Amino acid sequence: MISLLARQFRASPWPTLLLAFTVAVLSLIVTAVPRLSSDLDDRQLAQRLSTLSAIQGDVAGAFTPPLTFPSEPRDPWPGIRGAAANTRDSQPEPLRSLLQPPQFIGVQPVGASWTPDESSGYYIVMAELLIDPDLRDNAELVDGAWPEIGQPDEPFQVAVLDTFAERAQLEVGSLTSNDYVVSGVYRVPDPDNSRWQHNPYGADYHENEDPNRGTELLGGMFLDPDLAAGDPSARFQSPFAITVYFELDAASVTASGVDVAELSAQLTGMQAKRYPTSTDDVLGPNQDFPFHSELGAALDQVLDQQRTTRTPVAVSAVGPIGVGIALVVLGAQLVLHRRRSSVALLSARGMSRRQLRRVVATEGAVAGLPAALVGHLVALALVPGPVPWWSRPVTVLIGLLPAAALAWVVRDDAHGTRREVASGNGRWRLVAEILIALAAAAATWRLLTSEPAAGGGVDLLGAASPVLVALLACLLVLRVYPLPLRLLSGVFQRGRGVTGFLGAARALREPAGGVVPVVTIVLGTTMAVTGAALLGTISVGTERAAWAETGSDVHVSGPKLGDETLESMRAIEGVAAVAPISQGADNAALTVGETTARVRVWLAEPDLIDAYLAGRDGSPVPGSLFDGGEPTPVVVGGPEAPTDGTGTLDQLGEVRIVSHLEQLPGVTDAAAWVLVPRDRWPGEVGRPTTTLVSLADGADAEAVVADIQALSPRARITLVDDELEALRASPTVAGLSRIFVALALGTAVLMVLAIFTAQIMTGRQRRSTAAVLRTLGLRPGQLRSLTAWELGPVVVVALLVGVAVGIGLAALMLYTVDFRSLTGGGLTPRLYLDPLGVGGVAVGLLLATALAVAVSAWLAGRTNVAEELRHGEER
Candidate from 409-413, 628-632, 663-667 with smallest mean pLDDT:
409-413
CB 737 within 8 A of CB 535: yes
Cis peptide preceding 94, ω within 30 of 0: yes
Confidence of residue 863 (pLDDT cuts 50, 70, 90): low
* pLDDT at residue 497 in the model: 59
CA angle 27, 28, 31 (to 5 degrees): 80
Instruction: For residue 787, give the nearest of 758, 829, 810, 749 by alpha carbon.
Output: 758
Q: Which alpha helices (DSSP H) does 74-179 contain, by range? A: 77-89, 95-98, 135-138, 162-168
Lowest mean pLDDT among 23-32, 56-65, 744-753, 820-829: 820-829
Is residue 534 within 8 A of residue 810, CB to CB? The reply is: yes
Tell me the per-residue pLDDT of 484-535, one tens digit each, with 9 for 90 and over.
667 766 766 666 556 666 666 666 665 434 566 777 778 778 878 888 888 8
- Looking at the predicted structure, is the pLDDT value of residue 686 above 80? no
Residues of 446-480 as b/e, b for ≥16 C-beta within 10 angstroms?
A: ebeeeebeeebebbebbbbbbbbbbbbbbbebbee
Q: What is the residue type of 686? A: G
Q: Which residue has the higher pLDDT, 661 or 425?
A: 661
Report d(CA 504, CA 789) in Å as an integer.
6
Q: Is the pLDDT of residue 452 over 60?
A: no
Mean pLDDT, residues 252-274 taken together: 83
Distances (CA, A) of 543 to 618, 695, 735, 822: 13, 18, 16, 11
Q: What's the rounded Cα separation, in Å, for the pair 376 and 550?
A: 46
Shortest CA distance to 739 belongs to which of 44, 255, 50?
44
Spatial CA neighbour of 598 closest among 561, 630, 624, 636: 636
Q: Residue 157: what pLDDT? A: 93
3-state secondary structure 231-266: CCCCCCCCCCEEEEEEEECHHHCCCCCCCHHHHHHH
Predicted confidence (pLDDT) at residue 763 exceeds the cutoff of 90:
no
Round the average pLDDT of the chain to a whole number and report it: 80
Peptide bond into 731 cis (omega under 30): no
pLDDT at 63: 92
Query: For 301, what's the count of Cα atoms within 13 Å in the CB-facing half-sphere?
Result: 19
Sign of CA dihedral 621, 623, 624, 629: positive
What secondary structure letter does DSSP report for 818?
-
pLDDT attached to residue 433 = 74
pLDDT in tens, 87-140: 999 999 889 988 999 999 999 998 899 988 888 888 999 999 999 999 999 999
Residue 313 CA to its chain's centroid (Å): 11
CA 721 to the chain's CA centroid: 20
Alpha-carbon distance of 334 to 336, in angstroms, equals 5
Angstrom distance (rounded) from CA 825 to CA 732: 14
The ranges assigned to domains in the chain are: 2-40+302-544+729-874, 62-72+92-253, 559-714
User: Interior CA angle at 734 toward 732 and 740, to 5°?
Assistant: 95
639: Cα separation from own chain's centroid: 26
Please report which confidence band the pLDDT of residue 226 belongs to, taking 50, 70 and 90 as the band edges: very high
Contacts 24+ apart (CB under 8 A), 613-620: 613/694, 614/552, 614/553, 614/576, 614/694, 614/695, 615/547, 615/551, 615/552, 615/665, 616/543, 616/544, 616/547, 617/544, 617/547, 620/659, 620/661, 620/664, 620/665
C-alpha dihedral over 634, 639, 641, 644, to 10 degrees? 60
* pTM score of the predicted model: 0.70
| Lowest-pLDDT range of 179-183, 421-425, 659-663 | 421-425
Rg (CA), the chain: 37
Residues linked to residue 160 through DSSP beta bridges, in sequence order: 185
How many DSSP H helices and E strands does the chain contain? 28, 22
The CA distance from 814 to 837, in Å, is 17
The pLDDT of residue 67 is: 87
CA distance 626 to 680: 10
* Residue 810: per-residue pLDDT: 84
| N residues, the chain | 875
512 close to 764: Cβ distance less than 8 angstroms = no
End-to-end CA distance of the chain: 29
CA-to-CA distance for 621 and 612, rounded, in angstroms?
A: 8
746 pLDDT band, cuts 50/70/90, is confident
List C-alpha distances in Å: 842 to 317, 337, 351, 359, 477. 17, 32, 48, 41, 18
What is the pLDDT, as a whole number, of residue 513?
Answer: 43
Query: Are 817 and 311 in contact, with CB atoms under 8 Å apart?
Result: yes
Given a cut of 60, is residue 457 above it in pLDDT? no
pLDDT at 180: 92
Give the Cα separation of 571 and 577 in Å (integer).
Answer: 10
**Distance in angstroms (rounded) separating the CA atoms of residues 141 and 139:** 7
290 beta partners: 274
Question: Please, are residues 746 and 316 in contact by the beta-carbon 8 Å criterion?
Answer: no
Distance CA 247, CA 232 (A): 32
- pLDDT at residue 328 tops 80: yes
Beta pairing partners, 105: 243
**pLDDT confidence band for 420 (50 / 70 / 90):** very low
In the prediction, which pLDDT does 447 show?
67
Interatomic CA distance for residues 176 and 269, integer angstroms: 46
How many other β-carbons are positioned within 10 Å of the β-carbon of residue 861? 16
Residue 19 has pLDDT above 60, yes or no: yes
Q: Provide the β-strand partners of residue 632.
A: 655
pLDDT band at 455 (very low <50, low <70, confident <90, very high): very low
Q: Identify whether the C-beta of residue 759 lies closer than 8 Å to the C-beta of residue 856.
A: yes
H-helix segments, 349-390: 353-382
Residue 648 β-bridge partners: 591, 654
For the beta carbon of residue 263, count every other beta carbon within 10 angstroms: 22
pLDDT for the residue numbered 776: 59
Rounded Cα–Cα distance for residues 817 and 814 (Å): 5
What integer pLDDT is reported at residue 107 of this predicted model? 94
**Would you state the torsion angle of the CA atoms of residues 612, 614, 616, 618, taken in this order, to the nearest 10 degrees?**
50
Q: How far is CA 30 from CA 207, 320, 733, 842, in A?
A: 59, 9, 22, 23
CB-CB neighbours of 486 under 10 Å: 13
Shortest CA distance to 791 belongs to which of 841, 744, 850, 842?
A: 850
Would strands 124-131 and 99-107 be described as parallel, antiparallel, or unpaired?
Answer: antiparallel
